[in-house]
Amino acid sequence: GKIKKLALKKKKIVFHIAGFPHKMPNSFFTSNKLPDLGELAYLWRLEQIAIEVEKLTGATVEMMVCLEGTVFHFLAMVSKFEAQTYQDKVSDLVKIFKLNHLHPVDLASLHCLVLDWDKKVRLKALEIQKAYQKGKLKIIEQVKRVWPVMFVTLNVRGWPDAKIKQLFWKSNKLSDQ
């Protein structure tokens, strides 16, 4: 495909990789608000992949790590400051560990290309939240179907452990073993 054509021409291969939205502390996993060894391991692995692709193809490789925290932070009730600080620290990791193939990109620099982006996303988020709060079965079932996404983006700071456990385990018929 396209990568093979670029490689044969020794052209630059640019990958766009979903990065991290922001840190969503969940007392079952972490209380951190900043990147930790999990993010560093992910970034390090991306760097190693880029190096291997270069070795195999002879082409230059760049990986654009898309960071979406300052675009979607409000959906998960995280402050813009926290989201920006998180993104800045991810960028710092890339620099400190000399992950030279990785280039963090703030999606906030691109969302302005969509007319009324903020307004549209905020209205849709509010509509879904209100429907969920009213107990509309269709919305509740849809939310349950996408629970892995909710698992990552739902802000549960300050929730009692029992409520978190109920949300992420019992309600999704998962074992807590």
Give the tens place of pLDDT for each residue, 100-156.
999 998 887 777 677 787 787 778 777 877 877 777 767 667 666 654 444 445 566
Structure confidence at residue 20 as a pLDDT band (50, 70, 90) = confident
Q: Which residue's structure tokens are 């998962």?
A: 174
Give the number of other Cβ atoms within 10 Å of residue 100's Cβ: 12
Q: Please compute, for residue 9, the number of CA atoms within 13 A of its CA located in the half-sphere on the CB side.
A: 8
- Which class for 175: exposed (0-12), middle (13-18), buried (19 or more C-beta within 10 A)? exposed
Average predicted confidence (pLDDT) for the chain: 76
Strand spans (E) along 59-157: 61-67, 102-106
Cα-flanking dihedrals φ and ψ of residue 29, to 5°? -120, -45
Question: Region 155-166: what's the mean pLDDT?
Answer: 69
Residues of the chain with pLDDT > 90: what percent? Answer: 19
**Total-model pTM:** 0.65
Distance CA 19, CA 90 (A): 9
